[in-house]
Structure 1
């Protein structure tokens, strides 16, 4: 280890450590949590490093985390994560706000030549030549005391992150790509990302596009009820009702307990505890004249649409050749189809992808630019000069 690991389980030690990091321009941050038996993640350990020191902070032992809160929400300090979203969800539920500013090495990695959504261990291996120990991946982080090996394993996550961040930052600056990530990082600061609204819960269930309108209406109500029940009781949503059972109820619409018990795949304990609530929803939806809008059914692309996407793909590949970036991390065919049909939400028209290829794609789609051969190579040319 390059420097000793501090294990902090008292408020005084925590205050001293946080004060020592107060002038750091950035800190590497990671968390350990469990959520296999709860709806909300249980915050078990916080790891922080800045390149010269590292600590594992025990939130199960320290009730008052205001010193950590001050550090995480200090906008003069960049918080470095890898795949930040789950960590930020924990902080949002603990502090009701999202730390900022943020740098996510997983989001930045494709801009310096790594695969999209690269895992932490793979990135550490590629950038530092270090093999990450996976021995404690399945650790129950609620248990105390933690062994020295468990503390070292947890601390290594931020020690390696603190070592690779300056290297990645230097590569981005050399390529003049730091600004490309600003929108992606800012999006992670949006609190709405970490709120699961019951009325939107149906959007996470596959297969709803195959339902009839009245069946779909019931599935939407069931999903909202399940999400709300899971949140109120802090239980995994599948402990309340599995997706398969939810779809079965939506399709068969049982109006009494006997009909509900006749359905396959629904545990008798679920029926005993929640049967009346589910049957009540069947009656409510059955008596309602309002049917929510259904999700768009998947349709086969026309030959014309496929040809347009082929041209868009060629344009993306052209720009990626110029910037030495793998086209696969910029836009898939599905992304390009979304740019055609829903440009406001299309990923290739957002953030750094828009700067690299999205603006040109939009000009092409708006018939303000054309693809043509020029000096034996493919080129995008403004219509004004074509």
Structure 2
């Protein structure tokens, strides 16, 4: 079946049209949502189009043209509304940054499919084909969504992205109930919403820079300061972090203890304009960090070190447990425990941490993962031979 739209589509580009849409959606408890945005040379994604549907009608909101967004924020923030999305990660980020909105409740059809072992990271078009028997045209995926007017093809593509969410929600929710996975799925949705509310906090970005795992405490202190300075500057100027200074450039500046522009110039080839405009600021932050590090004895957490070959054996044993449980539960294995979480357990084993003092990864500290995975993982952990780090 082709992707002919099954619902009327309304274009919303002024206050009158927005007011009419808000009135039509009054009392809605299930709202399908998708976003189209551009992010090529900005820190924040530029929300170009917001698609909404109540299952009966579709609205395409020309967000840049709307002068008053508060009624839209109030609609999306209503506590009784469950927001239907597919692959919500970027949508949640854009909603928070552009509209200061985090939905009260969420149903992600991509994750629902994963909890039903239909596939992990299954694309929207593929899931629509599975559940609705419709083949979608995805040619407009990478088009310019900020251009106006949008082409007929772009509008059709955008409308299709919410046209089938209600139908898929009905089917997937029923399957989750039948499979006994609805509580697991709801826990996942709440975790995603909690993460979305905390995403704006840039603290501890330096921990993502694994190349700095061997840094001394003073070096980590300086790297943390540089990352925080760059983060604030990127947000203020609305520029990508890498447009200012890339991660390897900050790492090299700390590693080489740079104190001159010439030394910075040799740190992983920084962009000349960034060096000219912000190089002195970077050096000042680095110099102040050196001074402050001398008066603090607080140890900083280091980025995770790579596993040794010997540690890899324990990692494989733990991963085998995850694979076995995924097959038993009939869910995508990626939902259970990720690589980073397993590595965290392996490193603690190498450090001689006893089972009763084990610091479980956050997702394994509670909920269904704790109930279903902690015991078999702990059995492997306690029975494994000591593993040297190197």
**TM-score band, normalised by the shorter chain?**
0.7 to 0.9
| Shift in CA distance, 136/280, structure 1 to aligned 2, threshold 3 Å | same
- 1:194 corresponds to which of 199, 204, 213: 199
Q: Distance in 2 between matches of 1:308 and 1:142?
A: 46
Q: In 2, Cα distance between the equivalents of 1:103 and 1:33?
A: 21
What 5-or-longer segments of structure 1 have no aligned partner? 371-386
Between the aligned partners of 1:259 and 1:332, the Cα distance in structure 2 is 39
1:325 aligns with 2:341: no
- Quote how far apart the aligned CAs of 1:359 are: 5.0
**In the alignment, which residue of structure 2 is the partner of 1:48?**
52
Which runs of structure 2 are paired with 1:18-97 in the superposition (5 Å)?
Answer: 18-97=22-101
TM-fit CA distance, 1:239: 1.0
Q: Which string of whole-angstrom CA distances, capped at 9 and with x for unpartnered residues, describes residues 297-343 of structure 1?
A: 2342657x946963x55654554444333445434565445456465
Q: 1:334 to 1:248 in 2, by over 3 A?
A: closer
Question: Alignment partner for residue 361 of structure 1, among 376, 380, 384?
Answer: 376
Query: Aligned partners of 2:324 and 2:304: how far apart in 1?
Result: 32
Within 5 Å, which residues of 2 pair with 1:164-313? 164-190=168-194, 191-197=196-202, 199-287=203-291, 288-289=293-294, 290=296, 292-300=300-308, 302=310, 306=313, 310=317
Query: Contact 1:309 / 1:333 at 8 angstroms: preserved in 2?
Result: no
Please say if residues 73 and 99 of structure 2, whose CA atoms lie closer than 8 Å, have aligned partners that are also in contact: yes
- Structure 1 residue 193: Cα displacement: 3.1
Cα deviation for residue 31 of structure 1 reads: 0.9
Displacement of 1:107 after TM fit? 2.0
Partner SS state of residue 207, structure 2:
helix
Distance, in Å, in 1 between the alignment partners of 2:255 and 2:228 is: 17
2:354 equivalent in structure 1: none
Q: Secondary structure at the match of 2:164?
A: helix
CA contact (8 A) 1:184 1:351 kept: no
Given the superposition, is the C-alpha separation of residues 206 and 313 from structure 1 closer, same or farther in structure 2, using an over 3 Å criterion? closer
Cα distance in 2 for partners of 1:328, 1:201 equals: 24
| CA distance in 1: counterparts of 2:66 and 2:137, whole angstroms | 28
Q: Per the alignment, do residues 352 and 110 of structure 1 end up closer, same or farther by CA in structure 2, a change over 3 Å counting?
A: farther
Q: Which residue of 1 aligns with 2:18?
A: 14
The answer on whether the counterparts of 2:120 and 2:332 sit within 8 Å (CA) in structure 1 is no
Q: Secondary structure at the match of 1:102?
A: strand
Secondary structure of 1:207 counterpart: helix
> Displacement of 1:157 after TM fit?
0.6
**Contact 1:9/1:59, CA 8 A, preserved across alignment:** yes
SS in 1 for 2:177: helix
In structure 1, the residue matched to 2:355 is none
Aligned partners of 1:44 and 1:141 also within 8 Å: yes
Q: Distance in 2 between matches of 1:144 and 1:333?
A: 43
Any conservation in 1 of the 2:321–2:377 contact (CA below 8 Å)?
no
The residue number in structure 2 matching 1:381 is none
The aligned residue for residue 122 of structure 1 is 126
Distance 1:58 1:333 in 2: 40
**In the alignment, what sits opposite 1:345?**
361
- Gap change, CA 1:184 and 1:324, over 3 Å in 2: closer
Counterpart Cα distance in 2 of 1:267 and 1:335: 35
